[in-house]
A and B are shown apart, each in its own frame.
Chain A
Amino acid sequence: MQPAAGAETSAAPVVVEARNVAKTFRIPDRRIDSLKERLVHPLSRVHYRELRALRDVSFHVRKGEFFGVVGRNGSGKSTLLKILSSIYKADAGRVRIAGRLAPFIELGVGFNPELTSRENVVLNGVMMGLSRAEAQRRLDAVLEFAELESFADLKLKNYSSGMMVRLAFAVMVQADADTMLIDEVLAVGDAAFAQKCMDVFREKRAAGRTIVLVTHDMAAVQAFCDRAMLLHDGECLYLGDPEEAALRYYRLNFETPSTGKTQSGPVGVPDVNVRVLDAWIENRRGERVTNVEQAEPIGFNLLIEARQELLRPVFAFHFRDADGNEVFGFNRTLETADADKDRVGPGERVRIGGWIDNLLLPGRYFVDALVARNRTQGDWALHPVRLLDFVVYGTEPGFGHVSVRADVKATVEGGEASR
């Protein structure tokens, strides 16, 4: 038995085990897919580009666990799922499973539009590993779950897409495999349907079923998973606590160091008085970033050059949400007590920088700036300029734009009724 990883607490038997699984796809530069081409160029070797979809991935899932597999597009998570479900063959490593395992890579795979839903349900049940008799027996339950009893003998091609999704989902639920491998099935359907999926997952988990969920949806991972694995470029970056996996996933997505001239770079409108040389956001390690993790302080930096003399200037910054509503803002004047030195000469540079407490909730934000000279007269030197935009990422949602610590409790007190 492997050593316990992450938040694994149970000692239930292992039902899915992958050891050092690797998979490489060979993608031919020029695809030869006819015998003719083979014969015309019998000696030309096909050059392949190797795509290492999975390298040395090991993990196990215990009975009754809700296990999440997360990762960006192309991280290898779907490949892993297909290897577990015997759709692809692993190049190396060993995969072992216990009990009956059913993959749900897409809703309604194998549905034949020419057949009635009755026939499709039986066919699909057998495809998911039920015996024909068993599939027949569950037919009514499936149709009932899908609320399609009165359409049982209608050909599937006459179904609305909503009915089709309901039927497909009912088939999946009623297949009742010991282990369910689910790939982004939640992505289809409306909010009500997604809710129904969630309810079913909860029931399945309560019923002791093992579920492996491959998803982008961190909310689902945090809500359901006992443990999660983060895949990146075919490697397992993290295995354990789902909160931590979700957080690292966000970091992977957003914490790409900015090169300075990206979208987040200075976008100042050329102004006759002041020029923005550079504007950027840093993280705590001093790296330029375009995205900030929730609650991490924002390292704010601005470098401007005066084109003409700025007497007693004031620098105003406005932080706005994606809709342009101001969330907060602040003004700064030059750090000097001497009124004579409260000026910037032509060609002189001003650096504005420091740390900003980050109470922002996840979302996209913009920073606008205004520079005024002769602050008593309100003479604008720099028109409002969009300096920066950045994304705050994180896993703690809330209302509005900021998370403010609120030490508020709800308790029950005796009232009229208790007397």
Chain B
Amino acid sequence: MSNGALDLRDVKGPSALGGGTRRAAELLYLLASTEFKRTYFGTVLGYLWSLCRPLLLFAVLLEVFTHVVRLGAHVRNYPVLLLLNIVLFGFFQESTNAAVPSIVSQEAVVRKTQFPRLVIPLAVVTTALFNLAINLIVVFAFVVVYGIAPTWTWLLLPIVVGAFLVLAAAVSMLVSSLYPRFRDTAIIWAVLSTALFYATPVLYPLQRLHGTFRTLVAMNPLTLPLELARRWVIDPHAPIDTTTVPVAVPAAIAFAVIAVAIWVFNREAPRIAEEL
């Protein structure tokens, strides 16, 4: 061992990324990939099962909104749009809800090893991201079958996914670090995320909404990414509404959520082991 390795360095206690970013990244990859493998290779039907949920939801909603409510009547390629929206929003909802108890369920690791706290909720989000990637393949299969011509704008979809990823990660950090102290975070977030489902243009494009509700939905940071996904993948002529609410508003809200999430997580991270 070289003498250089013997320089004393301060131990500052547990933190979001304690132990270095590289180690955190490797742990993140390992945790997410093993979890992913476990779901998909554990059972033969593993992947089919996990695909069943969005597809069933899609089938029910499609039936309801094309025949009963006829919400999608005047929307081009409504069924494919609905499927894309469900898959994208499903990623956000699944990852954030799974993140809530993630730190508590990794209690042994948090209390007995040096473990970068941030890795735990992010691993949940990463696993969900792998799921999303596979689900998107199915979506594109539908898109092609439906007869939508491929365009170069399909290549822009990662931007939409990126926006969802960042917001899902931020919310996951927030709820997972609050959960050890406030156990009802789980219930509150389950209700909130369901409400958010309706406040996001998943079932209907923004253009079909009116009044204050439209303003509200337009302020949702998840709205613009979904609208962009629609234009880039499903319908190049779909309007992007930037007049109801200036783009700066949802952007500001998104940044506020991210800032609060980082602040709360950093504040809670050193104490989580003691709170469990």
Contact = CB atoms under 8 A, between A and B. Distances in A.
A83 B10 CA distance: 12
Contact of A34 (B8, B11, B184, B273): B184
A178 B185 contact: no
Interface of A: 13-15, 17, 25, 33-36, 38, 63, 82-90, 94-99, 102-103, 105-106, 109-110, 112, 114-115, 119, 122-123, 126-129, 131-132, 178, 208
Residue of B8, B181, B274 with most partner-chain A CB within 10 A: B8
A63 to B, nearest CB: 7
A25 B275 CA distance: 10
Interface stretch (B30-38, B51-59, B144-152, B164-172): B30-38
Contacts of A90: 13
Contacts of A85: 113-114
B42 interface: yes
Residue of B11, B22, B30, B111 with most partner-chain A CB within 10 A: B11
Chain B interface size range: 35 or more
Contacts of A110: 108-109, 112-113, 115
Given A13-B6, A97-B8, A127-B27, A83 B114 contact: no
Contact of B34 (A98, A115, A128): A115
Interface of B: 1, 3, 5-14, 18-19, 22-23, 26-27, 29-31, 34, 38, 42, 108-115, 181-185, 188, 270-271, 273-274
B19 A95 contact: no
Given A115-B38, A122-B30, A127-B27, A87 B14 contact: yes
A77 to B, nearest CB: 15
B113 A97 contact: no
A117 to B, nearest CB: 13
Given A98-B6, A109-B112, A89 B31 contact: no
A340 to B, nearest CB: 76
A123 B35 CA distance: 12
Contacts of A36: 184
Nearest to A106: B112
Given A109-B109, A114-B38, A86 B5 contact: no
A2 to B, nearest CB: 12
Contacts of B19: 86, 129
A14 B8 contact: yes
Given A35-B188, A63-B6, A86-B114, A99 B1 contact: yes
A122 B10 CA distance: 28
Contacts of B108: 106, 109-110
A137 to B, nearest CB: 14
Nearest to B30: A123
